[in-house]
Structure 1
Amino acid sequence: MNLEVIRKETPGCSDKIFLNSAGASLMPKAVVDATVKFLYEEQEFGGYTAAVRNSAYISQFYEETAKLINAKPSNIAFVSSSTDGYAKALSSISFKEGDCIITTNDDYISNQIAFISLKKRYHIEIIRVANLPDYELDLEDFENLIKKHNPKLIAVTHIPTNSGLIQNVERVGNLCKQYNVLYLVDACQSVGQIVVDVEKINCDFLTATGRKFMRGPRGTGFLYVSDKALNENMYPLFLDSFGAKWTSFDDFQLNETAKRFELFERPYAALLGFTEALRYANMIGIDQIENYNRALADTLRINLEKSGFRVLDKGNRLSSIVTFCQADGKVEKIHKILSENRVFFKENHKGDALIDFTSKNVDHAIRLSPHYFNTMEEIEIVSQLLGNINH
């Protein structure tokens, strides 16, 4: 990693300390250039012709995504967001009354709302696995619940948006494989900041977004669909002419690949920008990004704890999402000093993570999410600014 080059290629980091990559990160110049270039081609030739002219480049989206997560291009579908892909995956499952979804206490808010919606409509059961005292998943409880309830689906968020916890998706995947249970992983906060390998996770579906740690445009994401799910002819509830061929008055033939989860209409300019973001991350190497991010986040947590802040991240393995509050549980002073010094951050509220924040007895948390274009010097500057609050 050449940090000097990376920062030069990231114009947005020149006049601020940007620590909100878990929200929407800063795009490299190459990503913006690819997006804008296609828009100019649409202006000149129209959208259909521009897409045809860039067909080889568009196909690289599938190749770069597959390379990123150790899959095949045929397992990849373009979606407009992680939530979009998640909803399409859920819609491919034929839920009926009495079915069960097993999930965790640290799942993403939109996923939990989707489960509750399914519960209201189909009268399914939602069961959440217990956590051990160190906040890790209780895998023994997981296995017992699988044996007892024979779930239709197991769904785990790899890294929740509200804390730095990295959940043990690989061990859960082993259980899903052992008991032949469908497995859906939300990787919207992990893809781009740590190594994600679908072969090791053993998932049937995995979703990710472009705008966060991948540093792509908004309105982009991908859905991974396993060979098992494809071979079992799983498909989203609403297909269109891209996902299937209309073969007779009352029948259709599915696309053989994960593209059956796509729609004909998609923002090609954003897709090409996302392709460039994928290529950029693959070129640097996610393993290098993960190691550097860990050093940034670990240093930040240590400094915050030394300065008397309450760091809310719990677990044996933590990510580049650092959540904290003042010792009294408030965040107003933190909010003020970061805003005044052009430090970009996110404030999370209890409604964003009802179960987690209730268990930690907090209503608000400040979230800082350093990424590989940040410097250790920036971490020390922010640590010093915040340290002044308690002195």
Structure 2
Amino acid sequence: MSFDKEKIYGDTPGKQKVIHFNNAGASLVTQTVLDTQKDYLDLEADIGGYEALAMSQDKLENVYKSVAKMINATPEEIAIVENATVGWAMGFYAIDFKPGDRILTVEAEYVSNFIAYLHMEKEKGVSVEVIPSDENGNLDLKLLEYMIDENVKLISATHVPTNSGLVNMVSDLGKIAKKHDILFLVDACQSVGQMPIDVEAIGCDMLSATSRKYLRGPRGVGFLYVKKSIIEELHPPIVDLRSAKWLSPTVYELRNDAKRFENWENNCAAILGFGAAVDYALEVGLENIKERNDELAGYLRDKLNSISGVNIHAISDHQCAITTFHVDGHDAVDIVNKLRENGINTSLSEPSSTLLDARKNKLPNMVRASIHYYNDETEIDRFIETLTKMI
């Protein structure tokens, strides 16, 4: 479709009931996503779960094709899993770390990922080191080059951090990782769906994301991309009859595609809803979505900057659809709660979610307003009016 605002608004039933600026948490789903899930659940109720699965194999396989098309991969490089955390962890923990290996990551890395690094530091004796950023929040690539030696096993980065609109230049990291033959893992949980993602252009070996955020799909499903050339180098931390074949009483054989990172039991309704969400994003066009998101986010930040006492955490020129801010003399928790009482959804961004960046920039609790292309200027105006009255 062309970027038909009225159709997009009409395809979003929740838009009639709430102003939803919590898309970095979980977006409002489209009617198609909702109908797809309901139809499958009805089928399960009518004929049984195993039988519904058997009838829906082609539709389920098409989800892999859609995800692959969206990120410029092949279906064999896609694993569909319970959520982005599972996807990321299945890739990360499949790496054969040895004592003395080094993990390089970014300052605004997400809490769950950094905890995993620290766990690997404790269990395997690796070291975890942070790639410095300049005063504008941009990665210092020259210093990164100096940090690299033969012991660097992994470069791992969050593309869009949870606590600001920063967009890390992961394609620059990808070039350096490729130059030095280092594994490169990208957490794209908050970028997939709000902007075009091309794994070949990024140069990553693995990339994880979720359905529920900017893809506008259901909760409880996500994916992991693994580059075909490295799949057989990685042994998943959990294996079952989905990921491997039992060949003899003492022998099993892993699959040779990314499904080796899956397990057998899945929420088929959620997977099909996820596929419908991806197809919808592809139909609207990821470039169109990014363009509209940039337009709306710029409008929102301009309006916020006009309010005395509002402080936006946006130090980099590379900004996206997420805006975080705090208000002098006001608790962010109270603001989020009062906005919700007025039919406006935002979320709370706590320092603990990106501890290193928060400490460096002395960040308090912040309000996170994350818009998406189905939002509009009228909603932003009402948000600004409501916020102004509150403070």
- For residues 231-272 of structure 1, the C-alpha deviation after alignment (integer angstroms, 9 at most, x for no partner) is x43230221111111122322222121111111111111111
Deviation at 1:339, TM superposition (A): 2.9
The residue identity in structure 1 corresponding to 2:16 is: S
Whether the aligned pair in 2 keeps the contact of 1:164 and 1:314 (CA below 8 Å) is no
TM-score, length-scaled by structure 1: 0.96
Q: What SS does structure 2 have at the residue aligned with 1:27?
A: coil
Give 2:147's aligned residue: 145
Aligned-residue identity in percent: 37
- For residues 171-224 of structure 1, the C-alpha deviation after alignment (integer angstroms, 9 at most, x for no partner) is 000000000000100000000001111000111100000011111111100000
Deviation at 1:44, TM superposition (A): 1.6
Give 2:62's aligned residue: 60
Matches within 5 A, 1:12-161: 12-147=14-149, 150-161=151-162
Matches within 5 A, 1:154-233: 154-230=155-231, 232-233=232-233
In the alignment, the residues of structure 2 paired with residue 91 and residue 333 of structure 1 have an alpha-carbon distance, to the nearest angstrom, of 39
Greater Cα shift, 190-199 or 251-260: 251-260
- For residues 286-319 of structure 1, the C-alpha deviation after alignment (integer angstroms, 9 at most, x for no partner) is 1100000011111111111111210012212101
Residue 346 of structure 2 corresponds to residue 352 of structure 1: no
Pair 1:144–1:369, CA change in 2 (3 A) = same
Q: What SS does structure 2 have at the residue aligned with 1:4?
A: helix
In the alignment, the residues of structure 1 paired with residue 4 and residue 300 of structure 2 have an alpha-carbon distance, to the nearest angstrom, of 22
Give 2:275's aligned residue: 275
Pair 1:335–1:266, CA change in 2 (3 A) = closer
Q: What SS does structure 1 have at the residue aligned with 2:152?
A: coil
Q: What SS does structure 1 have at the residue aligned with 2:109?
A: coil
Matches within 5 A, 1:294-333: 294-308=294-308, 309-328=310-329, 330-331=331-332
Matches within 5 A, 1:235-314: 235-308=235-308, 309-314=310-315
Q: What SS does structure 2 have at the residue aligned with 1:126?
A: strand
In the alignment, the residues of structure 1 paired with residue 337 and residue 249 of structure 2 have an alpha-carbon distance, to the nearest angstrom, of 63
The residue identity in structure 1 corresponding to 2:299 is: T
Whether the aligned pair in 2 keeps the contact of 1:333 and 1:389 (CA below 8 Å) is no
Whether the aligned pair in 2 keeps the contact of 1:329 and 1:364 (CA below 8 Å) is no
Q: What SS does structure 2 have at the residue aligned with 1:44?
A: helix
TM-score, length-scaled by structure 2: 0.96
Task: Detail structure 1 runs of 4+ shifted over 4 Å in the superposition.
Answer: none
In the alignment, the residues of structure 2 paired with residue 15 and residue 384 of structure 1 have an alpha-carbon distance, to the nearest angstrom, of 18
The residue identity in structure 1 corresponding to 2:271 is: L
The residue identity in structure 2 corresponding to 1:345 is: T
Whether the aligned pair in 2 keeps the contact of 1:337 and 1:385 (CA below 8 Å) is no
Whether the aligned pair in 2 keeps the contact of 1:17 and 1:344 (CA below 8 Å) is yes
In the alignment, the residues of structure 2 paired with residue 332 and residue 161 of structure 1 have an alpha-carbon distance, to the nearest angstrom, of 17
Whether the aligned pair in 2 keeps the contact of 1:246 and 1:253 (CA below 8 Å) is yes
In the alignment, the residues of structure 2 paired with residue 50 and residue 213 of structure 1 have an alpha-carbon distance, to the nearest angstrom, of 28
Whether the aligned pair in 2 keeps the contact of 1:103 and 1:154 (CA below 8 Å) is yes
Deviation at 1:332, TM superposition (A): 5.7
Deviation at 1:99, TM superposition (A): 1.3
Pair 1:267–1:21, CA change in 2 (3 A) = same
Whether the aligned pair in 2 keeps the contact of 1:24 and 1:213 (CA below 8 Å) is yes
In the alignment, the residues of structure 1 paired with residue 235 and residue 60 of structure 2 have an alpha-carbon distance, to the nearest angstrom, of 23
Pair 1:161–1:332, CA change in 2 (3 A) = closer
Aligned pair count reads: 388
Q: What SS does structure 2 have at the residue aligned with 1:316?
A: coil
Deviation at 1:337, TM superposition (A): 4.5
Q: What SS does structure 2 have at the residue aligned with 1:58?
A: helix
In the alignment, the residues of structure 2 paired with residue 340 and residue 243 of structure 1 have an alpha-carbon distance, to the nearest angstrom, of 46
- For residues 15-62 of structure 1, the C-alpha deviation after alignment (integer angstroms, 9 at most, x for no partner) is 221100100111111111111111111112211111110111001110
CA RMSD of aligned residues (A): 1.4
